[in-house]
Structure 1
Amino acid sequence: MYPTPQQEQQMLLHCAHARYVWNPAVEQHSHWYRGRKAAPGFAGQCRQLTEARRDNEWLGSGNADVQHKR
C-alpha cells in the first residue's frame, strides 16, 4: 500500500479515534470482578459512543464505522 500523504493522515486519524474508544472499553471490562455489576455490553457501549461523539467534536468528526469495530 502506498497511500498519499493525505490518505496517510486520514488513516492515522482513524487509528487515533479507534484507540480513543477502545481503551475505555477495555478498562470497563478489566475492572469487573465477582459481585460487581457487569460492564456495559455492546449495545450499552454503542450508546456511550453515540453520546461521546455528540459531546466531542474531534471524535464526532471521525468515521462511526471505524469507531464501532471491536
Structure 2
Amino acid sequence: MSRFRMYPTSEQASIMLDHCAHARYVWNLAVEQHAHWSKGRKTAPGFAERT
C-alpha cells in the first residue's frame, strides 16, 4: 500500500476546504430527504428521484 502526504499551498487548502463544505452540504441534504421519506413507500429515493 502506498501512502502519500499532501503539502498544499494556502490557496489549494482553501479550495479543498470549500470542496469539503460542499460535499458535507450535499450529504446532509440527502440524509434529510431520506428522513422525510414516507414509510408507506417501498424504498427510499435513489439518485434519480433526488435530482
TM-score tier (shorter): 0.5 to 0.7
Counterpart of 1:23 (choices 9, 23, 28) is 28
| Unaligned runs of at least 5 residues, structure 2 | 1-5
Gaps of 5+ in 1: 48-70
Aligned pair count?
46
Q: Which residue of 1 aligns with 2:12?
A: 7
| C-alpha RMSD of the superposition | 2.1
- 1:34 Cα deviation from its structure 2 partner: 2.5
Comparing both structures, which one devotes a greater share of its residues to helix? 1
TM-score by length of 2: 0.67
TM-score, structure 1 as length reference: 0.52
Counterpart residue identity of residue 2, structure 1:
Y
Query: Pick from 21, 40, 57: which aligns with 2:45?
Result: 40
Identity %: 70
- Structure 1 stretches of 4+ with a deviation exceeding 6 A read none
One-letter code of the match for 1:21? V
Comparing both chains, which one has the higher relative contact order based on Cα–Cα distances under 8 Å and sequence gaps of 6 or more?
1
